[in-house]
Amino acid sequence: MTGLLALSLANLVAISAPAGSGSMPPTRTASQVVRPGWGERLRPGARFPIEGIAFDGRGGPLSRGDGLSDLAAALREAPWIRVRLEGFVDASDDARGDERLSLAMARDAAERLVSLGVRADRVAWSGRGGGDPLLPNFTTRARSANRRVEVVVVDPSPGT
């Protein structure tokens, strides 16, 4: 477990704010400035899967729907919000391989967000392997659901 954690932490993008960027005034929230439906999703501590992105059994993206584009647009509207993308796979007998694969999935999604105009210092990523499935891995449909990237909204307050 320690080795897996170290692999993820070694690959995180720095999420510290650039010098002089300041923080959002406390009276303004994401729900006040971000497109409808995204304000509540982008509250600190929120977690949700990226919709419209699917991965094949080896972690390569099968499709990139509008979920990443929509997330990028919402993040561009709320520049004080930082996120961590966590990749998950359907568990195999190779825990290290699962970790690498989940990391590659999260990194792919993070790179896509950056290509869509989100500053890289606002996006971190990690691989969580196959240890937290949404569904038991008994069917093809369940394994597909377990291959996912989730967004975790990082608290933008100092000290995070």
Mean pLDDT, contiguous 10-residue spans, the chain (160 residues): 35 36 48 64 89 66 72 91 93 84 92 94 93 84 86 70
CATH of 2-9+40-154, one of 3.40.50.2300, 3.20.20.70, 3.30.1330.60, 3.40.190.170: 3.30.1330.60
Q: What does pTM read for this prediction?
A: 0.72
pLDDT of residue 20: 43
What pLDDT is recorded for position 4? 38
Beta strands in 33-117 (DSSP E): 47-49, 53-55, 61-64, 82-88
Residue 107: predicted pLDDT:
93
Measured between alpha carbons, how far apart are the two ends of the chain, in Å?
Answer: 24
